[in-house]
Structures are given as structure tokens and as C-alpha cells.
Amino acid sequence: MTSTPPLAAPGPVLTPTLPATPTPFAPNRGGLPSVPVEDASAALPWADWSSLQWAGFLLLAVLVALVLLVSIRRIVHRLHLVREQEELGHRDLDGPVLPPAHAFTALVAARGPAGLAVTLDLLARQQHPDVRVLVAVDPDDTLALDVTTSAVRRHPGRVQIVQAGPLAGPSPALASSLASSLVDALAEVGDGVVGVFSAGDRPHPRLFALVDSVLSRTDADAVQHASRPALEATPWWAPRSAVDRWWWSRSVVRSHGRAGFVPLSDSTLFVRRSWLAWSGGWDATRVAAGLDLGVRMTVAGARVVIATSPETTTVERSPGGLRDLARARATWIRGCLQVLGHGDWRRLRPRARRRALGVLTEPLLDAGVTIVTAAALVSTVLVGAPALVIALAALPVLPWLLSQLLDVGGTTEAAAEQGRRATGRERLLVVVGSVPDRLVTLVAVVAAVGAELAVARPEVVGPSASSDPIRGARPVGVDEPATG
């Protein structure tokens, strides 16, 4: 007989309670949100920003927008140049070579023996019947004097020596400038056309004959021909520098010429002696003699022709090292600052004036873009900014990447003009060398600004560029005048 187990005493009845805020059923969600809906805005990174943080964010946004504007504008300009490259590059040198009609005097400022012998030999062997080469040499520079003397013996009657003393400039600080040597040599030049070259240049054998034909066909007062360093794989920074100069000499200068402003160079420049006589020649207080002369000539109404051709481009001597590269850029930047401060460019027509302002301030803009981009990226990472802020600071990298693609294409074109194919090393160095190249430009800007602030330039007494020496002279550019 089995016994019945005792029953447990009944417990209290449980009353179910509903949540205060019922959550609607949502299938396939895998759980409820950890933050209530009304508090979701509190999870945003800027929810608890102070007014100082908001001010910093807005300042960063404005600076990034300005950097993007400068970078995208340059990319659009280069794309436009690529589209019109063939039309911009060959027009003035098309046509048959005309009989010689001008006498040429080539001026070479010898500041050291490097590359001097090759330049003098190529100038003396030009396929033109009336070419004279004047070499401005400092008597104390014995090596350059020996090289020049040997060239005189090899080419009697064509190569001559002109003494250029170390104190040829108006002050010792400016004595070593190119302009002071050109001023000394110009005193020995007769009528005709004056050509300017630098030691180490390798001009084409038929360059003078082609320029003679351009002068006859266009009746130009000055002709600027392309010159740039050769594209070489060594040293590592050379391809980047060569591609930048390729853009400048191949298309950019010509584009500025169409707008009515021609930034003349100190190499492969041909000017009629009458214009140099009127303007007093090169200004010895300007470190970028060609740039200053070009502004004064365009303001005065001279007709300047940009005649370029890949086959006849003058090959310049590459800088010997990064220090020489930075020194050359500092000279150009300082020349831009001098012309900018002198103010002659303000007398150009509005379109040409905008181009001139862009050329003269471009090195400063490049330095500003480098500083802003680097400072924005480094500061946002170091302070532990939110990912959104870091992404905003990194936006200028996108147009930089696009510009690298254009530069790789420019490397291919530059190598093709030399009759070969660009190597993978050259393309890689063009991209990798972009950042160090920006740093070199930044150092050059600092050096140029410091040198310009340290030197008190004397007041130049001479004819004003606003007076027109030849009232009937045709204006600069292809289709329109440069002055209003």
C-alpha cells in the first residue's frame, strides 16, 4: 500500500508587469539598441564639442577648401593643356626655314667651368652664317677663363671673351647675379638679335636658323624657346624636377603667352638689340633677369613669341645636388617676389594681369598648400581627433593622387621626346619624389623671403615701363594686346 506524498503549500500569485516603454517587435534585429532612441544624438562625435572645438573644425574646413580649390584649379589647367598640347606646341616653328636675315650675338655668363665648354662649342657650330658668342668671365675665375680661352682658340672669330668683374653689380650682395654679367656683355653687342644662354645648355644645331625664320615670319621683338633638363633616372630627385620643367616649358609658358603675359627665362631667350637699348638691358638688381625683362617688355607693347618644339628644345644642365636645386628655386622665387613688389605687372590688361599674379604667387601658394596639408594631418592625428575630422584633413590627398597620374603621363611624354621609353624607375621616382620636392620648394621659399627681406634694394632710376617706346609696336601674345 503506497502513501500519497504531501502537497506543497501554494505560493503567491505573480502579477506580470509591462515595460514602461513598450518596444515594437522588429524581426531579424538580433537584439535591442543599447541606447534609447531619444538619446541617440548623444553618441555623435560632435555632440559634446566646446565652442573652441567647433571653431577649430570650421577653421580646418575653410583651410581644406582653399587647398582643394588651388589643387583642383591646377589639375584642370593641366588637363586643358594636355587637350591642346599639339596646337600649343608647334605652331610658330611650322613652315619652311627662310634665308638668314638677322645677325645673332649669343651671351653666356660663365660662373664656373661646369658645362661651359659644351655650350660654347654648340653655339659656335650653329648652322647660321652670322653668329657671334660673347662669354662674360670673371678674371679671378681661372678655371672658367681657361675653358673659355680654349674655346676661343677652337673657334676663332666666333667666340670672344668679355671681362665681368666680381663687383659688376650695384652691391656685393648682387654681384654674382646673372643680370650683372649680362649687362657687362651687352655693352659689346652691336645691332641685331641678342640670345641668352647659361653654361651647360645644349642648344640644337639649327636653333638659330629656326629662330631667324620665326623673327622674319612674325616680326617679333623677342622669341622665347623651350629649355629644360633632360629626363634621367639618377639622382633620385631628378625625374621629379625634370617633369615639372617639362610641364612648364612644353605648354604652360605658351598658355600664358596666349593670355598676354610671357614669363621669360634666362636661357634660350632671343631679344632684338633695339628693345634692350631702350630699356637699359637687364636690371642688375633683379636675380631673375628674364622674368623682370619680360614684364617690362610686355607692358611696353613688345610682341613676344613662344616658339617651342620637342626636337629643338635646349637641354639644360641638371643641378648638381639638392642644395643646387634649392638654390635655383630660391633664385626664381626671389625674382618673383622682386617683380611682384616692383608693380609693373599691374599695368597689364586684366586677363594678363591675373596670369602674371598667378605666376608670381605660385611658389608661395605651393608652400602654403604644403604647410596646411601637413599641419592638418599631423595635428588631427596627434590630438586623437574623431575619424570624421581626420578624413576631412586628408581630403587634399585626393587631388594630389590625381596630379601624380598626370605627372606619370608627363614622364612618358618627356621620355618620348628624347626618343626612348620611360622606365618604371623614372615613373616611380616621379611619384615618390613629389613629397621631398614639396619640402625643397618650401625651403626655397623660406630662403628667398629671408634673402629679400635682408637686402635693401636701391631705387632703380631709368625709363618707366608705362611709356611706350614704339607707338606702332604690335602687342604681346597671339591675338590680343597685353596693355590697356
Helix (H) or strand (E) holding 73: helix 51-83
Cα gap 19→360, rounded to integer Å: 72
Q: Which residues of the chain have pLDDT under 70?
A: 1-47, 81-95, 165-177, 251-259, 456-484
**C-beta of residue 315 within 8 angstroms of C-beta of residue 230:** yes
Residue with cell 502513501: 3
What phi, psi does 207 have (nearest 5°)?
A: -60, -45
**C-beta of residue 226 within 8 angstroms of C-beta of residue 254:** no
Grid cell listed for 261: 603675359
- CA angle 122-127-132, nearest 5°? 65
Query: What residue segments make up the domains of the chain, in order of their start?
Result: 88-319
Amino acid at residue number 305:
V
DSSP state of 478: S
**C-beta of residue 168 within 8 angstroms of C-beta of residue 176:** no
**C-beta of residue 194 within 8 angstroms of C-beta of residue 270:** yes
Cα gap 459→448, rounded to integer Å: 20
**C-beta of residue 389 within 8 angstroms of C-beta of residue 380:** yes
Amino acid at residue number 292:
D
- 3-state SS, residue 44: coil
Q: Single out the residue of 294, 312, 305, 109 nearest to residue 208, CA to CA.
A: 312
What phi, psi does 182 have (nearest 5°)?
A: -65, -35
Cα gap 367→93, rounded to integer Å: 36
DSSP state of 68: H
Grid cell listed for 119: 655650350
Cα gap 412→427, rounded to integer Å: 8
Grid cell listed for 392: 576631412
Q: Which long-range contacts (CB under 8 A, 24 or more apart) does 421-424 make?
A: 422/231, 423/233
Cα gap 87→467, rounded to integer Å: 34
Amino acid at residue number 171:
S
Q: Single out the residue of 293, 400, 298 nearest to residue 353, CA to CA.
A: 298
pLDDT of residue 189: 87
DSSP state of 305: E
Grid cell listed for 153: 682658340
pLDDT of residue 173: 43
pLDDT of residue 23: 58
In sequence order, what are the residues at sequence separation of 6 or more whose Cβ sits closer than 8 angstroms to the Cβ of residue 78? Answer: 247, 403, 406
Amino acid at residue number 465:
A
Amino acid at residue number 382:
L
CATH number of 88-319: 3.90.550.10
Residues in the chain: 484
Q: Name the packing angle between helices 322-342 and 289-300 (round to 10°).
A: 30
Residue with cell 629649355: 227
CA dihedral (165, 169, 174, 180) positive or negative: negative
pLDDT of residue 165: 62
What phi, psi does 130 have (nearest 5°)?
A: -130, 80
- 239: preceding bond cis by omega (within 30 degrees): no
Grid cell listed for 140: 679671378
